[in-house]
Structures are given as structure tokens and as C-alpha cells.
């Protein structure tokens, strides 16, 4: 039986832009899309997704490509809110597991201009309702990829950005973007167990001394003969 091993990211194909490279890598990494390349060319939007297994919960990683003529703060704000509302937890089970942030949504905004961008994307990274939304800007004409600033992003957001960089071949080592999420889950479980143990002990302790709360016997005076 052949042993499957995770390979290193392939070198960038000659003449390919970051959008083409990323779409190719997504397919190699097990992402699926109901849309073909012709739909991307005709309509300017395509969605890739992959189901994730995160400890006791199921999650999803989604990569949305949207072609836009220009980029500004208004576009970033509108797209971030729209995508978060679409992928946030809806039913009771999803809301209960929302602490895991098991859904990751990358929104890749592909600009058609040749103008380089240096906007700060940090304000548009949103975590809520069980989903983490991360915007990324790609300018294919000048081969530019703009990510949120990693120096200001810690916790579960940083490995998610690093994973996208790995897909684009900017990092050679694989990245487990859910590692800190799983660690946080087990820490939460331990904290809950400690709290439950403390509550149980506080309830049981008074009952252990139930026999000591009775009235003390009174001494009788000796009778005179």
C-alpha cells in the first residue's frame, strides 16, 4: 500500500500569476469547486471549499475569489460583513461549537488594475459566529499579494495567514492552522472540569460534617447521698 506524504509546494509555473498558482494549489490540497475556470473568466467569482476535521468538530475552509475593478475601504468593509454573515454559525449546534472558530474564510480580492496596494487589512479580519474571515488582495498584473500584517496578528489568525502563504509557495514548511484551536479546546475542557469539580466539592463538603452539628450532651450533677 502506497504511503501518502504531504509534499512541498511546487515551484511557481513560468508566467503564471498568483491567482492561477493559488487555484492550482487549492486543487492539489483537496479543495473542490462547483465552478469551472470559464466561470471565473466570465463572471469574476469562484469559490473553493474543503471540509475540515478539528478534534470533536467539523469545520470548513473556504477560499472565495472575487474580481474587482478597484479597491478601497468601502469595498473591504462591505465584502467582509457580507461574507461573515453568510458563513457564521446558524443552528444551535454550530453556535455551541463556535468557540472553536472551525470555519475559515479567505476572501481573495483580485484587482484588475496595475496599481500596487498597501492598505492595512488588519481592521477587516473578523472572528465571530464560529468563522474567521481573512481578506487578501492580489494584483496579478504586477504579481503582488497583500496579506494582513502578521506582526499585529496573534492567536488563531496568524497560522491561517501563514497557511495561505504556504499555498502560494512563500513558505516551504507545512502549516497546521488549527493547532492553536485544538490547544484552546483542550484548555477550555480542563478549565470546565476544574470548575465542575470545585462546584461538586462545595456541595458535598457540608454533608460530610452532618453528624457534627447536633446538640452537645449536658452534664448531670452528682446526687448527694
Distances (CA, A) of 86 to 71, 81, 93, 128, 218: 21, 9, 17, 12, 76
**Residue 26 pLDDT greater than 90, yes or no:** yes
Range 15-22 contact pairs with CB under 8 angstroms and sequence separation of 24 or more = 17/138, 17/140, 17/141, 17/143, 18/138, 18/140, 18/143, 18/144, 18/145, 18/168, 19/65, 19/108, 19/110, 19/138, 19/140, 21/168, 21/169, 22/63, 22/108, 22/138, 22/167, 22/168
Query: Quick check: 137 pLDDT over 90?
Result: yes
Residue 27: the pLDDT is: 94
Residue 32 has pLDDT above 90, yes or no: yes
Instruction: Inform me whether the pLDDT recorded for 2 exceeds 70.
Output: no
Tell me, what's the pLDDT at 72? 86
Average pLDDT, the chain: 74
d(CA 141, CA 162): 23
Average pLDDT over residues 148-177: 78
pLDDT in tens, 79-128: 888 887 787 656 555 555 545 556 889 999 999 988 888 888 988 888 77
| 154 pLDDT higher than 60 | no
Strands (E), 55-205: 57-68, 103-111, 126-128, 131-139, 144-146
User: pTM for the whole thing?
Assistant: 0.69
Which range is least confidently modeled, 18-22, 105-109, 118-122, 185-189? 185-189
Q: How confident is the model at residue 146 (pLDDT cuts 50, 70, 90)?
A: very high
Q: Are 67 and 110 in contact (CB under 8 A)?
A: yes
The pLDDT of residue 170: 87
pLDDT in the model for residue 12: 44
Q: Rounded to whole angstroms, how far apart are CA atoms 125 and 109?
A: 14
Q: Is residue 196 very low, low, confident or very high in pLDDT (cuts 50, 70, 90)?
A: low
Domain residue ranges of the chain, discontinuous segments joined by +? 18-181
pLDDT at 7 over 50: no
Amino acid at each position: 500500500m502506497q504511503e501518502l506524504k504531504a509534499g512541498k509546494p511546487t515551484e511557481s509555473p513560468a508566467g503564471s500569476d498568483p491567482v492561477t498558482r493559488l487555484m492550482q494549489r487549492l486543487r492539489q490540497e483537496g479543495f473542490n469547486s462547483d465552478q469551472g475556470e470559464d466561470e471565473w473568466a466570465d463572471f469574476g467569482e469562484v469559490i473553493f471549499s474543503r471540509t475540515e476535521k478539528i478534534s470533536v468538530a467539523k469545520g470548513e475552509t473556504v477560499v472565495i475569489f472575487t474580481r474587482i475593478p478597484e479597491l478601497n475601504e468601502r469595498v473591504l468593509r462591505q465584502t467582509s460583513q457580507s461574507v461573515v454573515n453568510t458563513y457564521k454559525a446558524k443552528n444551535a449546534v454550530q453556535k455551541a461549537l463556535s468557540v472553536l472558530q472551525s470555519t475559515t474564510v479567505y476572501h481573495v480580492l483580485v484587482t484588475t488594475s496595475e496599481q500596487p496596494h498597501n492598505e492595512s487589512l488588519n481592521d477587516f479580519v473578523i472572528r465571530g459566529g464560529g468563522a474567521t474571515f481573512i481578506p487578501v488582495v492580489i494584483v496579478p498584473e504586477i504579481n503582488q499579494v497583500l496579506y494582513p500584517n502578521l506582526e499585529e496578528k496573534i492567536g488563531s489568525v496568524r497560522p491561517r495567514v501563514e497557511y495561505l502563504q504556504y499555498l502560494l509557495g512563500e513558505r516551504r514548511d507545512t502549516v497546521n492552522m488549527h493547532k492553536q484551536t485544538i490547544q484552546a479546546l483542550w484548555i477550555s475542557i480542563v478549565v470546565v472540569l476544574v470548575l465542575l469539580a470545585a462546584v461538586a466539592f462545595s456541595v458535598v463538603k457540608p454533608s460530610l460534617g452532618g453528624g457534627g452539628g447536633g446538640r452537645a450532651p449536658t452534664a448531670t450533677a452528682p446526687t448527694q447521698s
